[in-house]
Structures are given as C-alpha cells and as structure tokens.
Structure 1
Amino acid sequence: MSDFDERDMNEIEELESTASDTKETVGGNEGDGEKKEKEYEDVCFICRRPESKAGKMFKLPNNITVCNDCMHKTMDTVSQFDYQGMLNNPSFIDDLNKNMSGKGYPNIRFVNIADLQGEGGIPNKQRLKKKKPKTKKEPVLDIKNIPPPHRIKAQLDDYVIGQEHAKKVISVAVYNHYKRVATGTMDDIEIEKSNMLMIGPTGCGKTYLVKTLARLLDVPLAIADATSLTEAGYIGDDIESVISKLLAASNNDVEKAERGIVFIDEIDKIAKKKNTTSRDVSGESVQQGMLRLLEGADVEVPVGANSKNAMVPLATINTRNILFICGGAFPDLEEIIKQRLKKQTSIGFNAELKDKFDKEKDIISRVTVEDLKKFGMIPEFLGRLPVIYTLAALDKAMLVKILKEPKNAILKQYQKLLELDEVKLEFDEGALEAIAEKAMEKDTGARALRAIIEDFMLDIMYEIPKDDNIGRVTITREYIEGTGGPIIDIRSISGENPDNLKVIEDKG
C-alpha cells in the first residue's frame, strides 16, 4: 500500500511539473504573440493604407479592417438607397438569404449590420511591419557650439564680396539670437528677439547673404515673397503660409522649425498704398497681420499643405524663437532721404547746397525710421524689427571681385566645366573689367554678370568639344567688346608651351 502511494505521488509530481512547463511555454508563446502583434500594423482592406497613415481602423468579421475614410465612403454610397427598413430586420435578411440560396445563388448573402460590431483577429497578409522610429536624435542647440561673430563673418567672407557692415551686423544679431534660444533666460532676464530689416538695391546680395548664412549654420531656412501675401480671407497666400514653408523645410519637425530662420523678401511691396480709397488687402493689413508672428505667438499651420482644410492635420508652432529677416530694395527711398536732408539746409555762409546729395552714391545708408514710415511702413511693424541696416550698391571693383574671388565664383564654375574637357580657361584683367562695365550699364547688380558671361561663352562652349587639339582659351577685353576674338592655344609637345605639354601628359 505504501509502495503504491509513493508511486502515485511521484506520478502526480511529474504531472504537475509537466503542467507547469506547459504553462510556462504557453505563457512564453503568448508573450511572443503580443510582441509579434506590436511589430505589425493593420492595413485597410480597400485602399491598402497602413494604420500609421490612415488612422484607427474599423475591425470587421473575417479578419477584415477598414480605415475611417473608406468606411465613410461606403456608408455614403449605401445611404443613397432606402435600406433602412430591411437591413435592420433580421427575419427579413434570413428569409432573403434562404430564397437566394434556394434559387441557386449560394455565394450571395446580405450582411446583418449587427454582426459588424464583433471583433476578430487580423491575418498577417493584411498587415505591414511597423517602421522602426529613428533612434538618431539631433543634438539640442548648445551655446558652446555656436560660432562667435568673427567666425561667422569669416565664413561669409568666403562667399560674399564686400558688404562688410552688413556681414558684421548679421553675424552679431544671429549669434545673440541663438545664444538666447540656447539659454532661454539669463538670471530671469528675458532677452528680446533680434529681427532684422535689410535695405539695399537689387542684385546687391540680400537673398544670397541669408542663404549662405543658413547653410553655414545648418538651420532650416524658409524664403517667402511678401508680394504673394494677402489678408486672411482673400485670394493669395495667408500670412501663416510663411511658417508652413519653414515647417516643410524642417521635414515637418516642429521642434526644429521653432529655431529656424524666415527670410521675407520684397518687404517693401507691402507698404501702405498712397492716395487710394480701396481696401488695402496686400499692404498695410499684411503688416498688421505679421505683427504677432514677429513678436512671438502660437500659430496653427497645416502639415504638408499651404491652406487649411478639414483633411489636413494642423501643427502648432511657437514663433518666439524664430529669427525673421526682412529684405527689400525700397525704390524711391533715396528721394525721401534727400527731401529730409534738404530741409536741414539754411540760408547763409554755412548753408549747404540743395544739390549736394544728388551725386552721393551711398545715400541710402542715411536711412532712418522716419524715412521708412514716410515710405509706407507702419510704426508697429518697424518697432518689431530693431536691427535695421543697409547694403551698398555694387561698384566696378566689387563686380570684378565677385567674378573671381568667391568659392563658387562664376569664372571658377566655367573653368571647372572646361577642365572636364581638359581645356584651361583664363580671363585677362581687361576682360573682367569689360564684363563689370557692361553689368554696371544694366543696373541689375550681380545678376547681370551671369547673363553677360553666358552670352560670350556660348560660342566657346560650342566649338571647344569639336577640336581635341585646343589646350587653352584666353578671354580678352577685345572679345568682350566685340573688336576681336579669344586667344586659343593648341596643344604641342615642344617646350615653348609648358602648360600645353602638361595637358598632353594628363590626356595621356
């Protein structure tokens, strides 16, 4: 009896251990199943969009999932017909199914609406594996990594010729702005934003300066045109569309967009219209609408679109740490400055002549806030742009430097193009001066240089690939002025032309 009891006890212990192992295995399988569930996401049965894009899914019988949009479209289609009485009547549906199956239609059945409320499992074929979130995070702006103003200006010098005062002002303003962004507050003293207004004639490098600055700092930059902005409710871009462009430039990263740079060009085009009785929807009202953006406010902007509508999600962006840089040519501002300066003249031996300022080239540098108010900018708008500076018009010497000195100078680009054909391109100093003189006549700044060189380089770029013997082309002043042609050197092995000899050796 005792042997039997002992044997039974051993069997019971073995069964319990087996059961516990089985339970652990089942539990482990359940854990693996839950883990596997988290790796996959539902896919809409109709439009095939995953849950991460389409939103929460409706779970239907037979392991079917449908997104919200497709479900609404289906219900809208069904609602066009009068199924109210029969779809909600179970007996009617049962009778109809029996009649349909009796008539030889076994695969056609009406669906009971009440059955759609149940939930079922989802097959893996209707699932997509979730994309793993990016683990790499951009470092938060660190005050130790912000380059000091002299380094910012030194980097700008490699790309922008002249405009020393403008580069100095923008370097200090950007440095102070990002110190403010990185630290927040210093001893409970809140530092205000250093929004900027740059004034300069066309082609002097306003947009190019901001583009270079944003590239060097590696921050998102949005460039907007004030001419397309209108008051809310009118045809055109709303004022918030400026922030939408910044969000798009940040790859829809709100945190990154909130420390970006917004450059609004042609800001002089939103000045108040003079002597008009019509509603100024693209002038003074746009300035008033921009006040809260410049000061700092929470703005709701659409993600991935330019206009707000019910189908586009909205993101809230705080503009408190966004640096706004406004730029404009402000035509006729020189006349306003001259009128103000002429009023200061008086009668007597120490009086200044009225035509003294007519020949002054850099008179725009004497601009004041009062001049801008008279031009048509409202005082509230100018008050939110504390840093106002001007860019000088380009003279002949600056245009020659722009042609050859920057890292991506126009001449270097053409020299690189001809190097691919193993041809050296050179420009005489006389040719550079002739190009600068022609650009001065067009009065469009540095933009004229590219157009002039494109015109004169057309025949050279067309003829050089024809002849493999050409080793070097020298552009002369006579060629630019139309009284001669370029100097073309033919490759030779003699020692008279070592440059051509080198070209032959390279060509091999």
Structure 2
Amino acid sequence: MSNLTPREIVSELDRYIIGQHEAKRMVAIAMRNRWRRQQLDPELRDEIAPKNIILMGPTGVGKTEIARRLARLSGCPFFKVEATKFTEVGYVGRDVESMIRDLMEVGVSMVKKEETQKVRIKAEKNAEERILDLLLPAPKSQTPAYANGSEYEPAPEKPKDDSTREKFRKMFRAGQLDEREIEMEVTVQSGAQVEIMSIPGMEEMGHNMQDMFSRMFPGKRKTRKVKIREAYEQLIEEEADKLIDMDTVVELARERVEQTGILFVDELDKIATRHEHGGGTDVSREGVQRDMLPVVEGCVVNTKYGMVNTDHILFIGAGAFHFAKPSDLIPELQGRFPLREELAPLHKEEFYRILTEPKNALTVQYKALLKTEGMDIDFSKEALETVAEYAERINEESENIGARRLYTLMEKLLAELSFDAPDKSGQSVMIDKDYVRNQLEEVTEDRDLSRYIL
C-alpha cells in the first residue's frame, strides 16, 4: 500500500482536480490512517474501523474524480456503483452485496495483472520459442513439452537446425517477421452459451452455474492463420497463465480488498427517505438502506472467490443532496458515515483553472489530438477566460452540471477546426477572444438554446 503523506496525497490530487481543498484533506487523512493501521500489532489493527465519508455537492464538481484518483495513488481496488441500481431483497434488481462481488472482481484482475508482469520476461522467452517451433516444425515423432498444458520446455533439436533457428530468432527480434503469417491453434468460444437468470439475492448461484457449464463445454481450439506479431502476444498470455498460480492470486486479492478496498457509492441522496412523505417508493428506498447497513457496518459476503469480510473496506458516499439531506438517511446508516464534506460549486475562476492547470486539461487534450493531423493550436488567456465565463453563465441559466459544461463548449468551439484539420496540416492557429465569441455566439444569443447544451 502506498505510504504517501497527507500533504503528498493532496499535492497529487491538485494535479488533476481544481479546488475542493477541504475534501482533499479529508480523503488524504483517511488514506493515511489506513497506512497507519497497517503498522500496528494485529490485535489492535483489527479493532480500528475505517471512517467512512460522504461527499456532498452538485454534479461535476469533482466528487467521483477525487475518489478515483485517490484509488490510483494508493494502488487500492476501487469500484464505483450507483445506489439507485439496488433494490430491497425480494424485488427484481441488484442486491446490495453485489457491489462487494464486483469489488472482488476488480481486486482479482488487479493482482493478476501484477503477477503477469512479474512472469512476463519468462513468458516472452517461452512464447518466442513456440514461435520458432511454428516456423521450424519439429519432426512428427517429437511432441512439444507444452502439449499437456505444463510449462513450456524447448524440444530437443538436431545440431543442423541451430544455425537456421538462430537466424530466424534474430529476424524475429528485429521485427522482420511481424507481418508474416503462420498457422497456430487458437481457442474459440464453445457452442453452448448459457445465460443464467439469477433470483434476486442469489446472483452467486447464477455465477456458479455459469462456471459449471463453462467447464462442461470448454472452448474448442482450431487452427487458423495469424500474423506473427499477433500470435506472439497471444502466446505470451497463454504462457503467463501457465506460470501464474490463480489460488495465490485470489488469496492476495481477497486480502487486498478486505484491507484496502474502496467502494464509491454515488447518488446516495437518491435513496434517502424524506420522512414527511409516505408511499411505496420511500419504503423501497429505506429497504435499500437497511440492506446496505450490514455491508457498511461489516459482514461476510459470499463471492465466487470465497468469503469476503467488509469490516475494513472504505465506503465513500456521494450525492448532490439538493432535496434530501444526510440526516434523511436512517440513523443507523448515518452513524456509519461519520465524516462529511460539502464541495463548493464552480465559478468562472475555477473553470479557467480547470482549462489551464491540470495535467490532463482539456486544452492539453485538444492540442495533442489536432497535433496528430499536423496542426498546431494555441489558446490566448482572454479566449479561455471567455470560455470560462460562458460556462458559468450557462450553468446559472440552465442546469448546473459543473465542469462537464466545458466539454460541450470546447467541442463546439473546436468543431470547425477538428473537421478541417486533415486539410490544414502544417498550419498554426491561435484561438483568441474574438474566435471564441464567433463560435459560441449562438449559445449566448439564444438563452433557450443553452438549456439543451449538456
């Protein structure tokens, strides 16, 4: 787990997210506390529960991005889910425990990728030998060592083949054989594709049934012609799978999910119950909250990879909370989200900083995209200030969608240049204030039109 200090975490988040300093500090402390917990004696470590967080604020102000970047910095399994997808047990829909199963899938995929990187050099070596075997087939009396599914071992060769094999090896490493086609066996989908409709709350049974059918009807292998470069990549994957112990991968993934997993539950405000109203929808929302409570509080969830304990998974809830409030959640669930922070809405100054400061700013992205066509574009300070001004104005006059407003404005601003870019290779274009106003004129002139701009 990453041992970045809170100050370093905030500094890294600042590279991608503008403003929201207090929210960044809160999540940075939460992540550092997880690292601190790992340094304690096991007896005390198990007693320290994570302090779950609720991030409140309108859409497009950075709630999801903060959580996603935080997971990347720490190298933790991370999964985002919308609370509105869940239904109370007994109704048709997803059950709350499915988010733990999804998080476990992310953890297994993450660990498997890491383990693949560890054995990649050996897998590449074995794949290279198999490519050479395909180029220079051994006599039929010789059976390749990997035919029984074990790790590849080169078949014994006659001395007279050495010079030819080494010549092919040099040509392959130099890329001279990449476009040459060879015949190799590939796995194709089995003929029996069975879709299992699971009973709500019993999705795990459906997964087990599908696994059983996949074992009963394994994928078939057939011979087809492929380019050597494509065959090489496929063989690397096959060899890496043979070198990886999946039992170890699952065990490591389970430990990582249980100790460092992060679940981002968006639209939490949509399942909050406003007590002055009654009715079926409120009953259903409260049922989802009650189903979510044991998962957040700490329980054991059955997954296809075994039992997963949720005691130390960090839950980050988020929502606009325009109409509902955190206090509208059932008291038991409120108590499981002790930390709350309200994110500030974005204004002209923040929009300008979003266009200029982040490492992945929209201006940087569009410059790189048009550079592929040989066109150089640049933006004047006044031009970007004008775009920021339009974004603020439209958000005020129509729905406030935060920084997402910039995506539509920038796309509309550069639509003409993007269309003509292949014909203007080698040209340089400076986008100034007047150009921005000309391109976005219809947006400002017709107030009704602005409400249709996403």
Q: TM-score range by the shorter chain?
A: 0.5 to 0.7
Alignment match of 2:64 (pick from 200, 204, 207): 207
- Equivalents in 2 of 1:417, 1:207: separation in Å? 25
Matches within 5 A, 1:18-417: 141=1, 145-183=2-40, 185=42, 190-251=47-108, 253-258=253-258, 259-273=260-274, 274-278=276-280, 280=282, 282-301=284-303, 303=304, 315-332=306-323, 372-373=326-327, 376-417=328-369
- Equivalents in 2 of 1:432, 1:469: separation in Å? 24
Per the alignment, in what secondary structure is the counterpart of residue 79 of structure 2? strand
Matched to 2:82, the amino acid is: D
Report the alpha carbon displacement of residue 191 of structure 1 after superposing the two structures with TM: 2.1
Choose 193-202 or 244-253, whichever is displaced more: 244-253
Matched to 1:320, the amino acid is: D
> Considering only aligned residues, what root-mean-square deviation do their CA atoms show, in Å?
2.2
Report the alpha carbon displacement of residue 193 of structure 1 after superposing the two structures with TM: 1.6
Bigger RCO (CA 8 Å, 6+ sep):
2
Alignment match of 2:374 (pick from 419, 422, 431): 422
Cα contact 2:269–2:326 (8 A) shared by 1? no
Per the alignment, in what secondary structure is the counterpart of residue 398 of structure 1? helix
Q: Say if 2:424 is the partner of 1:467.
A: yes
Alignment match of 2:383 (pick from 423, 431, 449): 431
Compared with structure 1, are the counterparts of its residues 200 and 161 closer, same or farther at alpha carbon in structure 2 (3 Å cutoff)? same
Per the alignment, in what secondary structure is the counterpart of residue 264 of structure 1? strand
Compared with structure 1, are the counterparts of its residues 320 and 181 closer, same or farther at alpha carbon in structure 2 (3 Å cutoff)? farther
Cα contact 2:49–2:311 (8 A) shared by 1? no
- Equivalents in 2 of 1:411, 1:483: separation in Å? 16
Alpha-carbon displacement from aligned partner over 1:287-322 (angstroms, at most 9, x marks no partner): 111111112111113x3xxxxxxxxxx621000121
Report the alpha carbon displacement of residue 175 of structure 1 after superposing the two structures with TM: 0.9
Q: Comparing both structures, which one devotes a greater share of its residues to helix? A: 2
Alpha-carbon displacement from aligned partner over 1:234-293 (angstroms, at most 9, x marks no partner): 111100011111011112632222121000000000111542232645411111111111
Partner of 1:479: 435
Report the alpha carbon displacement of residue 180 of structure 1 after superposing the two structures with TM: 1.9
Per the alignment, in what secondary structure is the counterpart of residue 65 of structure 2? helix
Report the alpha carbon displacement of residue 184 of structure 1 after superposing the two structures with TM: 5.6
Cα contact 2:413–2:439 (8 A) shared by 1? no
Cα contact 2:375–2:425 (8 A) shared by 1? no
Report the alpha carbon displacement of residue 418 of structure 1 after superposing the two structures with TM: 2.2
- Equivalents in 1 of 2:13, 2:57: separation in Å? 18
Cα contact 2:375–2:424 (8 A) shared by 1? no
Report the alpha carbon displacement of residue 476 of structure 1 after superposing the two structures with TM: 1.6
Alpha-carbon displacement from aligned partner over 1:370-422 (angstroms, at most 9, x marks no partner): x532xx21111110111111111111111111011111111001111122233
Per the alignment, in what secondary structure is the counterpart of residue 183 of structure 1? coil
Matched to 2:343, the amino acid is: L
Compared with structure 1, are the counterparts of its residues 332 and 184 closer, same or farther at alpha carbon in structure 2 (3 Å cutoff)? farther
- Equivalents in 2 of 1:231, 1:388: separation in Å? 26
Partner of 1:336: none
Report the alpha carbon displacement of residue 468 of structure 1 after superposing the two structures with TM: 3.3
Compared with structure 1, are the counterparts of its residues 483 and 240 closer, same or farther at alpha carbon in structure 2 (3 Å cutoff)? closer
Cα contact 1:221–1:260 (8 A) shared by 2? yes
Partner of 1:339: none
Cα contact 2:302–2:308 (8 A) shared by 1? yes
Q: Say if 2:408 is the partner of 1:451.
A: yes
Number of aligned residue pairs: give it: 291
Report the alpha carbon displacement of residue 190 of structure 1 after superposing the two structures with TM: 2.7
- Equivalents in 2 of 1:206, 1:187: separation in Å? 32
Per the alignment, in what secondary structure is the counterpart of residue 224 of structure 1? strand
Where does the alignment leave 5 or more consecutive residues of structure 1 unmatched?
Answer: 1-140, 304-313, 334-370, 486-508
Compared with structure 1, are the counterparts of its residues 250 and 404 closer, same or farther at alpha carbon in structure 2 (3 Å cutoff)? same
Report the alpha carbon displacement of residue 469 of structure 1 after superposing the two structures with TM: 4.7
Choose 279-288 or 407-416, whichever is displaced more: 279-288
Partner of 2:238: none
Compared with structure 1, are the counterparts of its residues 484 and 247 closer, same or farther at alpha carbon in structure 2 (3 Å cutoff)? closer
Compared with structure 1, are the counterparts of its residues 239 and 187 closer, same or farther at alpha carbon in structure 2 (3 Å cutoff)? closer
Alpha-carbon displacement from aligned partner over 1:185-237 (angstroms, at most 9, x marks no partner): 57689323211111111110000111111111111101000011111121111
- Equivalents in 1 of 2:439, 2:27: separation in Å? 44
Compared with structure 1, are the counterparts of its residues 245 and 187 closer, same or farther at alpha carbon in structure 2 (3 Å cutoff)? closer
Compared with structure 1, are the counterparts of its residues 281 and 234 closer, same or farther at alpha carbon in structure 2 (3 Å cutoff)? farther
- Equivalents in 1 of 2:440, 2:300: separation in Å? 63
Cα contact 1:177–1:323 (8 A) shared by 2? no
Compared with structure 1, are the counterparts of its residues 279 and 456 closer, same or farther at alpha carbon in structure 2 (3 Å cutoff)? closer
- Equivalents in 1 of 2:48, 2:425: separation in Å? 64
Alpha-carbon displacement from aligned partner over 1:408-449 (angstroms, at most 9, x marks no partner): 111001111122233321111221122112222132100010
TM-score, scaled to structure 2:
0.61
Report the alpha carbon displacement of residue 163 of structure 1 after superposing the two structures with TM: 0.7
Cα contact 2:104–2:254 (8 A) shared by 1? yes
Where does the alignment leave 5 or more consecutive residues of structure 2 unmatched?
Answer: 109-249, 442-454
Matched to 1:429, the amino acid is: K
Cα contact 1:220–1:260 (8 A) shared by 2? yes
TM-score, scaled to structure 1:
0.54
- Equivalents in 2 of 1:189, 1:255: separation in Å? 13
Partner of 1:65: none
- Equivalents in 2 of 1:188, 1:478: separation in Å? 61
Per the alignment, in what secondary structure is the counterpart of residue 388 of structure 1? strand
